[in-house]
Amino acid sequence: MQSYQEMSREELLQEKKSLEAAYKKYASGALKLDMSRGKPSAEQLDLSMELMDVLGSDTDMNCEDGTDCRNYGVLDGIQEAKVLLGDMIECHPDNIIIYGNSSLNIMYDIVSRSMTHGVMGNTPWCKLDKVKFLCPVPGYDRHFTITEYFGIEMINVPMLPTGPDMDMVEELVSQDEAIKAIWCVPKYSNPQGITYSDETVRRFARLKPAAKDFRIYWDNAYGVHHLYDIDQDNLVEILAECKRAGNPDMVYKFCSTSKISFPGSGVAAIAASANNLVEIREQMRVATIGHDKVNQLRHVRFFKDIYGMTEHMKKHADILRPKFEMIINTFEQELGGREAGSWIAPKGGYFIAFEALEGCAKAIVAKAKAAGVTLTPAGAPFPYGKDPKDSIIRIAPTYPSLENLRIATDIFVICVKLVTIEKILKIKA
């Protein structure tokens, strides 16, 4: 396929005319297609409906240790839930605290407590002149929203095919005591679908930060969210690596069942060292008597064990795989060789990142919106919503039906082509 860069002005104008006709046809159709957030589809949610049936009015509500899940108590979660989520994220149950339904809420709480009370005896962040977080980009917008809310300065760290640029990470954390943490989505990253290499994880574990209270915020949101049964990414377990490297307290590991069972009614957890968990429990005792044990028990009875969860996730993959493959195939067929952008074909997770030509992302998103396709705002995968190159667009294939997704992808491709041609024509003018 001929590159737009190599086409003459006349050829580009002819191509533009044809594309505008196709775009006009879609734009007149009053479409409302949403690819803005990584929400499971109704078909995926239906997979977990039996979760509602495992507990009834005549069900034994006691845990294996005799705890009545209907009553107060058990601050950090029932043992069965710790085992299940521990197996899910490859951590020992003793290193886990079970929370409510949202891992994002746990991250917010950890940052909030660090601001007001400090981390393991260190100065509360609110009393410091400056607090900074490293932010691998493109990344998860809701991570950045938390740090922005607390007035924490965010520093962009480029993502490489192996994960964050570790040369930059190592240099920054070793020199600046104000850098207190780094956000990470280490497996099937949001939005690129990159899994950190073994060497990247080990370099994280061997960091020598200037700040004694430096922490790695390891959001393992997509640890079991594979698209394929065999061709899967593997991730080195960070807690064990930190312990081997002599940095057992340096990481908080987050997870949830939000995109496994029900996003609004799942189970979330944090895994960390014994020292970190002691401090977290002290704060929890003030905030709560315990989270929803009935929901924890419901999830354990539904999945039974990690093998049950694995089989459940294969059903999710069967729904998602055709959507991801359709988009990637469409990109390859329509944009391959055009030099209009690039993308990564992920093996799991919830997103595809499209990298347009510099200066084109906002225009593509706006043009798609005018034709009835809502995308995540351009700039969202960056701190403060500012993409320095205005090039990254996050695509969320999960929520629409395959039929609607195909239409949305066709529109997106037309928008990419049009904006790219318009940019090149300005350069050639």
Q: Give pLDDT tens digits for 9-45.
A: 999 999 999 999 999 999 988 889 999 999 999 999 9
Selection from 254, 256, 251, 255 nearest residue 276 by Cα: 251
Q: How confident is the model at residue 83 (pLDDT cuts 50, 70, 90)?
A: very high
Q: Tell me, what's the pLDDT at 1? A: 81
Is there a domain that residue 55 lies in? no
Give the residue from 303, 327, 361 where a domain finishes.
Answer: 303
Q: Tell me, what's the pLDDT at 393? A: 98
Q: Tell me, what's the pLDDT at 28? A: 87
Spatial separation of the C-alpha atoms in residues 321 and 304, rounded to whole Å: 25
Tally of domains in the chain: 2
E strands of 127-267, at which residues? Answer: 132-137, 153-160, 163-164, 179-184, 215-219, 251-256
Whether 211 has a pLDDT exceeding 90, the answer reads yes
Write the CATH number for 345.
Answer: 3.90.1150.10
Q: Where are the alpha helices (DSSP H) in 118-180?
A: 141-149, 166-175
Same domain, 287 and 358: no
Are 350 and 38 contacting, i.e. CB atoms less than 8 angstroms apart? yes
Residue 120: CB atoms within 10 A of its CB come to 14
Same domain, 253 and 126: yes
Spatial separation of the C-alpha atoms in residues 257 and 222, rounded to whole Å: 10
> 306-335 and 293-303 helices cross at what angle (nearest 10)?
80
Same domain, 159 and 222: yes
Same domain, 131 and 242: yes
393 strand-pairing partners: 354
Q: Tell me, what's the pLDDT at 31? A: 87
Same domain, 222 and 85: yes
Q: Give me the mean pLDDT over the 57-76 stretch.
A: 96
Categorise residue 391: left if φ over 0, alpha if ψ from -120 to 50, beta otherwise. Answer: alpha
Is there a domain that residue 52 lies in? no
- Tens digits of per-residue pLDDT, 378-402? 999 999 999 999 999 999 999 999 9
Q: Tell me, what's the pLDDT at 110? A: 98
Which domain does 387 fall in, by range?
A: 4-44+310-428
Is there a domain that residue 204 lies in? yes
Residue 10 contacts by C-beta under 8 Å, 6 or more apart in sequence?
Answer: none
Is there a domain that residue 54 lies in? no
- Tens digits of per-residue pLDDT, 230-278? 999 999 999 999 999 999 999 999 999 999 999 989 999 999 999 999 9
Residue 200 contacts by C-beta under 8 Å, 6 or more apart in sequence?
Answer: 162, 163, 164, 166
Same domain, 17 and 70: no
Is there a domain that residue 31 lies in? yes
Are 352 and 189 contacting, i.e. CB atoms less than 8 angstroms apart? no
Q: Tell me, what's the pLDDT at 29? A: 83
Same domain, 148 and 19: no
Residue with tokens 């009053």: 30
Spatial separation of the C-alpha atoms in residues 276 and 271, rounded to whole Å: 9
Give the residue from 303, 338, 367 where a domain finishes.
Answer: 303
Same domain, 199 and 73: yes
Same domain, 178 and 105: yes
Is there a domain that residue 86 lies in? yes
Is there a domain that residue 49 lies in? no
Tokens of 194: 């990159």
Whether 429 has a pLDDT exceeding 80, the answer reads no
- Tens digits of per-residue pLDDT, 136-189? 999 999 999 999 999 999 999 999 999 999 999 999 999 999 999 999 999 999
Q: Tell me, what's the pLDDT at 322? A: 98
Q: Tell me, what's the pLDDT at 427? A: 86
- Tens digits of per-residue pLDDT, 106-115? 999 999 999 9
Write the CATH number for 283.
Answer: 3.40.640.10
- Tens digits of per-residue pLDDT, 189-198? 999 999 999 9
- What's the whole-number average pLDDT of the chain? 97
Same domain, 293 and 337: no
Spatial separation of the C-alpha atoms in residues 372 and 375, rounded to whole Å: 10
Same domain, 271 and 406: no
Give the residue from 303, 318, 339 where a domain finishes.
Answer: 303
Q: Tell me, what's the pLDDT at 236? A: 98
Q: If DSSP codes are grouped into helix, strand and coil, which group holds residue 114?
A: helix
Is there a domain that residue 147 lies in? yes
Task: Tell me 180's DSSP state.
Answer: E
- Tens digits of per-residue pLDDT, 301-311? 999 999 999 99
Same domain, 344 and 260: no
